[in-house]
Amino acid sequence: MNAVFDGQVLRLDQPLALAPNTRVRITIEMIEQPLPHRTSFFQTARSLNLNAPADFATNVDAYLYGETSDDTA
């Protein structure tokens, strides 16, 4: 039987077939939670399949803000 502790009481995952006020003995065993799958920034960026000019990384400001290297001087 599995349950979740909400900070005050154990909430069972399923109903328990016991009469009210039945005394029981409970053994607590923590269940390891699997780590969430983490996607790297590179994997996310590649999955977007963005089309950009070959010089986008070099001239990102020009593409984003319309600035050229001559404008900043």
Please say whether the beta carbons of 49 and 37 come within 8 A.
Answer: no
Confidence at residue 61, expressed as pLDDT on a 0 to 100 scale:
87
Percent of all residues in the chain with a pLDDT value above 70, rounded to a whole number: 92
Task: Tell me the residue range of the domain where 63 lies.
Answer: 40-68
| Residue 70's pLDDT band (cuts 50, 70, 90) | low
Question: Is 54 part of any domain?
Answer: yes
Confidence at residue 46, expressed as pLDDT on a 0 to 100 scale:
83
Angstrom distances, CA of residue 39 to CA of 34, 35, 48, 50: 15, 12, 13, 18
Confidence at residue 10, expressed as pLDDT on a 0 to 100 scale:
92
The whole model's pTM is what? 0.39
User: Count of domains in the chain?
Assistant: 1
Question: Is 15 part of any domain?
Answer: no
- All residues at 6 or more sequence positions from 68 whose CB lies less than 8 Å from its CB, including other chains: 59, 62
pLDDT tens track for 17-35: 999 999 999 999 998 888 8
